[in-house]
Amino acid sequence: MIVAALLVWAPPGMSAQSGIVFGTVYDSIANEPLPDAAVFLWETPYSAETDSQGRFRIEDVPAGDYSILFFHTRLGERGISTGSRAISVQAGVDQQIDLGMPSLATLVRSQCLMESRSEGAGALAGKVTDSESALALGGARVTLSWHEESLTVPRRLEAVTDQAGWYRSCAVPVGIPILLSVDFYGRQGRRREVTVGASGYLEANAELFASRPVEVSGRLLDRDSGAPVEGADTWLRGTRFRMLTWPNGEFSFDDVPTGTYMLMTDHLAYGTKMDTLFVPNGTDLRIEMILDNRPIEIAPLTVVTSAPPVAIAQRRGGIVITSDAIDKVRQRSRDASDIIRSLNIPGILVRHLTGGTICVGYSTGQVMMNRAGCVGMLIFINDVRATDANMALRLPPDAIERMVVYKPVDAGTLFGLGAANGVWMIYTRGN
């Protein structure tokens, strides 16, 4: 008896029952390919990371139907969730699929749909940056004003840029010239007129130009004793400004250009600390930074120009967790992350990552939970955003009075871009 064998040829490295998925990931807001994006097939081990040109390639994928999606830190920063796309992989076939972030126009329109606005109102959005450093300017105030025939004084709207420098307004008129002006701690951008056309949307970016450098000085103090901290390595990250504090705990940097910096300190007894520092235009800045060798983050930096607290209007809604509810789990909790985990709030996931990092976020809004890294919820302590979320998560249980948790959809509406994975408000005792 002769038995015939059917041989199916497959390229080297590929199973006869598998295919290849390849393509490009594109950032439609920045108009450029998106490198270092994680692309994966949902609920499978098949994944890849995009190269410098935004290209990816996933090999040896068994034939079948899948959902493909991607994640990048820019998504979390801008409060964007792209969702998944269905693909069908065939044996021996190279399947191409291109993925991308939605355009700014699409993003703003979707956000405006969730806001109450008058019929026929248009949307205006853009980014405010520093011309020399190209740094995004968070906290810049954007003013939009225009005249209407029936009024003797112009109408006026204001928006404040988020930490990534983006602003938006969903209530501007269509077809009427609007005067756009920007102010960043007294530093003003060039005013200009813009008009929202028939499409109902316009992108208008703003750039602030160089100004007089200032002196940034301050001192480091021990939280418990109030004694000055000598010999702490203090610097503005990414710049030439660096020194050891003097015996009186003082430091000083001359001719610091206007912009946004990360103020870093390092000391053997206190470890490495950091906080965001805004250097305003033409005004010398004096800083007092309180250091603590315990893993507690309670307003460590006091500056003349500080980040504004959350507006009262943003405190509505959310899941309110009372002191009584916290008391039930307080004794068996080591820190704030243990409390939130013990409360078993639906959808919230707590992960302990390598290096002692803790991540808390809504699992439904966090595609990145399939990666080693993590983009968690925004965390506020007493209405001020925590600059180091990991330290905030280690806040002692006895220090916590109450909490409010906002789901991703509510958080994105109330807090804007960057809140796509939810917001966690922590209020300490005495506040």
Domain 18-101 indexed as CATH 2.60.40.1120: yes
pTM above 0.85, yes or no: no
Whether the CB-CB separation of 44 and 35 falls below 8 Å is answered with no
Q: Name the DSSP letter for residue 136.
A: B
Q: Which CATH number fits domain 104-208: 3.20.20.70, 2.40.10.10, 2.60.40.1120, 1.10.1060.10?
A: 2.60.40.1120
Measured in whole angstroms, the distance separating CA 243 from the mean position of its chain's CA atoms is 30
Q: In this structure, how many other beta carbons lie within 10 angstroms of the beta carbon of residue 297?
A: 23
Q: How many whole angstroms separate alpha carbon 228 and alpha carbon 222?
A: 6
Q: How many whole angstroms separate alpha carbon 113 and alpha carbon 136?
A: 26
Question: Which class in CATH covers the domain with range 312-428?
Answer: mainly beta
- Looking at the DSSP assignment, which residues form a beta bridge with residue 277? 261
Q: How many whole angstroms separate alpha carbon 42 and alpha carbon 63?
A: 15
Output the CA torsion 119→158→389→68 (10° steps). 40
Please tell me the CATH code under which domain 214-303 is placed: 2.60.40.1120
How does pLDDT run across 322-374, given as a tens digit for each residue? 888 888 888 878 888 888 888 888 778 877 665 567 778 776 443 333 344 45
**What is the residue extent of each domain of the chain?**
18-101, 104-208, 214-303, 312-428
Whether the CB-CB separation of 237 and 275 falls below 8 Å is answered with no
Q: How many whole angstroms separate alpha carbon 415 and alpha carbon 411?
A: 6
Q: Give 120: exposed, middle or buried? Use CB within 10 Å, 0-12, 13-18, 19+.
A: exposed
Measured in whole angstroms, the distance separating CA 235 from the mean position of its chain's CA atoms is 23
Q: How many whole angstroms separate alpha carbon 69 and alpha carbon 406?
A: 25
Asked if the domains 214-303 and 312-428 are classified in one and the same CATH topology, the answer is: no
Per-residue pLDDT tens listing for the chain (431 residues)? 343 443 334 444 445 588 999 999 988 777 788 899 899 898 889 999 999 999 999 999 999 999 998 888 877 666 666 778 899 999 888 989 998 887 766 666 666 766 655 677 888 888 888 877 778 888 889 988 887 766 656 788 898 988 878 888 888 888 888 888 788 877 766 667 788 888 788 888 888 876 677 889 999 998 888 899 999 999 887 667 889 999 999 999 988 866 667 788 888 888 888 777 777 767 788 888 888 766 544 444 544 433 344 444 445 568 888 888 888 888 878 888 888 888 888 778 877 665 567 778 776 443 333 344 456 788 888 777 776 777 778 788 888 888 888 887 777 667 665 666 788 888 887 66
- Identify the pLDDT of residue 348: 81
Q: How many whole angstroms separate alpha carbon 357 and alpha carbon 143?
A: 40
Rounded to the nearest 5 percent, the helix, strand and coil shares of the chain are 15, 40, 45
Output the CA torsion 70→72→75→77 (10° steps). 170
Strands 18-27 and 32-33, bridge-based pairing: antiparallel
